Amino acid sequence: MENSDNAKIERIKRERKQAHSYYSDKSKVYRSFVAMEQNTYTDGALTKKQKELIATGISVVENCESCMEWHIKQAVDAGASTGEIIEAIEVGIEMSGGIGTVSARFAMSVLEYYNKK
């Protein structure tokens, strides 16, 4: 993984925390979104881990680097293995075609980043 990807991951994490601090106090819509997110990623018919793996694949399709960072970290924290995360990334590649391979490069950097922690 390139140092530039490490720096990008750190920047994404920092900016997310800053935005969360700002909007949590000022926006009821933002607070509602956070509540919906918390409710979505609880165990139900699907486990939190399974839901985070689904979100990882969708993040690759959407090419959302912040989403990839968040959902891969959440998947790791929920007990997902490296192999499970790679397969979720691969589903995103298949669903989005060639462009997914570009997104997958950053997703793999995020996975490596969290595997080293």
pLDDT tens string 78-114: 999 999 999 999 999 999 988 899 899 999 999 999 9
pLDDT tens string 51-63: 999 999 999 999 9
Instruction: List the domain range (segments joined by +) for residue 110.
Output: 3-115
Domain count, the chain: 1
Q: Which two tokens stand for residue 32?
A: 């509602």
Confidence (pTM): 0.89
Q: Which two tokens stand for residue 52?
A: 């985070």
Q: What 8-state DSSP symbol labels residue 16?
A: H
Task: Sort 13 into a burial class: Cβ within 10 Å, 0-12 / 13-18 / 19+.
Answer: middle
Q: What is the domain-level CATH number for residue 101?
A: 1.20.1290.10
